[in-house]
Amino acid sequence: MTAELEKEQQDKTAAASAAHPHVRSFVIRAGRMTAAQEQALIDLGPEFLVDVSALTPIDPAAVFGRKATLVVEIGFGMGKSFVEMAAADPDRNYLGIEVHPPGVGACMKSAKALGLANVRIIQHDAYEVLKFCLQPESVDILQIFFPDPWPKARHHKRRLINAEFIDLVRPVMKQGGQVRMATDWQEYAEEMLALFTQATGFVNTAPDGGYLPRPEWRPLTKFEQRGERLGHGVWDLVFRRQD
């Protein structure tokens, strides 16, 4: 992405946030992009990016050119596991939400290399996408894997998963739909568990009301492998939308 295009994207996100203020769970970092990532944003944007700058509802069938089970992932990072899941699951539509340009570029490049027709990307604040762009009862599966734990106490208000976030998630989920989460930060895992357990309209799928073993459908990342070697734990949660 050229400096001008990157600044334009950042200005759009900032303008939208100013129009609909809330505590943001992310900070757009000025990380260095590779030439391939920059070129992917230019060349592949028309194919993979969904324009939500108007903050109006999108039609998944129109976005993907078909009706299918909709999987939405918030914060896919560089997109490796997101693309891996989409490639192994071609009958479902995969919509990724990510704000960081290098990750968006890398994800599109990977999806194109694999010829994936079931991947689309929204480069925008997930809070606003949930609030304004996803239609009621349109999401079958919502995935949030390893969100920023904002470990310092004074930054906890920036955590993505909180009561306000759950209030935005509830209406967009189909009845029986799943919210899938994973974190390697135990205190954040305990907070997620407590928040969703207390929330109206969600039921824990773990038989004991706690955490699940790592599910086979979630790819094991290099990040997790490194954590395992260092003795770090990972906590998986799956809650089902149910009135």
Catalytic residue among 89, 148, 167, 236: 148
The residue behind tokens 């970092």 is 29
Q: What is the DSSP letter of 154?
A: G
Packing angle, helices 101-113 and 35-48, rounded to 10: 70
Closest CA to 25 of 160, 217, 222: 160
The residue behind tokens 């919509």 is 95
- Quote the tokens at residue 97: 């939400």
Measured between alpha carbons, how far is residue 110 from residues 41, 103, 121, 139 in Å?
12, 11, 12, 24
Measured between alpha carbons, how far is residue 223 from residues 32, 39, 219 in Å?
20, 26, 11
Other residues' Cβ atoms within 10 Å of the Cβ of residue 28: 15
Q: Find out whether 128 and 55 touch, Cβ atoms under 8 Å.
A: yes
Assess whether 148 carries a catalytic annotation: yes
Closest CA to 141 of 176, 116, 111, 167: 176
Q: Find out whether 69 and 139 touch, Cβ atoms under 8 Å.
A: no
| Cross-strand pairs, 119 | 94
What residues act catalytically? Answer: 148
